[in-house]
Amino acid sequence: MTLPRRLHRQSIRGNDAGSLRMPSRGPVGAGQDGVARRKSEERVLAFVAEGLTNKKIATTMKLRDKTVKSSLANMFQKLHITRRSQAAAFFVRRET
């Protein structure tokens, strides 16, 4: 198996080959609705509720447009919704 450079360098620097860990993608927590979400997804959801476009969200969070789009797609799937307006309504309802 070939390791990506970052992980290979990490293993050379003194980590045991058996203790290699993949980089963390951030904490996962279950919201009040029981759906597991990452903090970055929560922030994206908040920006959607404020009416920001994907491009504005990406600029604000210092992410790529594609990252925001995939984050929203994940959220839509987790929440069983299909539209941004539904995501915004979900966020507003949950915050009140």
pLDDT in tens, the chain (96 residues): 454 555 444 444 444 444 444 344 444 455 555 565 788 888 999 999 999 999 999 999 999 999 999 999 999 999 999 999 999 999 899 877
Do the domain assignments include residue 95? yes
Can you give the pTM of this predicted structure? 0.63
In a domain, 57, yes or no: yes
pLDDT for the residue numbered 15 = 46
Residue 45: DSSP 8-state = H
30 located within any domain: no
Question: Residue 31 in contact with residue 43, Cβ under 8 Å?
Answer: no
Domain that holds residue 46: 38-96
- DSSP state string for 5-17: HHHHHHHHTT--G
Is residue 27 in a domain?
no
**CATH code of the domain containing 64:** 1.10.10.10
CA distances for 68 relative to 11, 15, 42, 93, angstroms: 31, 33, 11, 22
pLDDT for 32 = 54
* pLDDT at residue 84, rounded to an integer: 96
